[in-house]
Amino acid sequence: MVAMNIGVEDNGGKKPDVYDYIENPGDKMLMPLLREMVDNVELCRRGVGSRRRALFLLGGSGTGKSTALEHHFLHMPEFQPQVNEYGEEVRPLLSLEAPKPCGPKDFAVAILDAIGVPSKARQTEAELYATVKTQFRERGIIYLHVDEAQHLRRHTSSKAILDVQDRIKSLMQIADWPLHLIFSGVPDLADLLKGGDGQVKNRSMIMRFVPLSLPKNRADIQRILTDIVEAKFGLVLPDELRTDDFLGRLCWANSGCFGEIVTAIQGACSLARSKGKDTVDLRAFVFNYSRTSGCLPSDNIYAAARWSEIDPANSVADLWTPEKKGRE
Kindly indicate the confidence band of residue 155, based on its pLDDT and cuts at 50, 70 and 90: confident
3-state secondary structure string, the chain?
Answer: CCEECCCHHHHCCCCCCHHHCCCCCCHHHHHHHHHHHHHHHHHHHCCCCCCCCEEEEEECCCCCHHHHHHHHHHHCHHHCCEECCCCCEECCEEEEECCCCCCHHHHHHHHHHHHCCCCCCCCCHHHHHHHHHHHHHHHCCCEEEEECHHHHCCCCCHHHHHHHHHHHHHHCCCCCCCCEEEEEECHHHHHHHCCHHHCCHHHEEEEEECCCCCCCCHHHHHHHHHHHHHHHCCCECCHHHCCHHHHHHHHHHCCCCHHHHHHHHHHHHHHHHHCCCCECCHHHHHHHHHHHHCCCHHHCCCCCCCHHHCCHHHCCHHHCCCCCCCCC
pTM value is 0.86
* Domain ranges across the chain: 3-209, 218-315
Q: Give residue 85's pLDDT.
A: 78
The mean pLDDT of the chain is 90
Task: Compute the average pLDDT of residues 124-150.
Answer: 96
Q: Would you say residue 1 has pLDDT above 90? A: no
The answer, yes or no, to whether residue 26 has pLDDT greater than 50, is: yes
pLDDT of 39 reads: 97
Mean pLDDT of 31-41: 97
Question: What integer pLDDT is reported at residue 87 of this predicted model?
Answer: 83
For the segment 250-264, the average pLDDT, to the nearest whole number, is: 96
Q: What is the mean pLDDT of residues 143-168?
A: 88
pLDDT at 9 over 50: no
Long-range contacts of 15-18 (CB under 8 A, 24+ apart): 16/74, 18/75
pLDDT digits (tens, 9 = 90+) for 200-255: 999 999 999 999 999 999 999 999 999 999 999 999 999 999 999 999 999 999 99
**185-204 confidence digits (pLDDT tens):** 999 999 999 877 788 999 99
| Segment 51-74, tens digit of pLDDT | 999 999 999 999 999 999 999 999
Give the pLDDT band (50/70/90) at residue 2.
very low
CATH 3.40.640.10 correct for 3-209: no
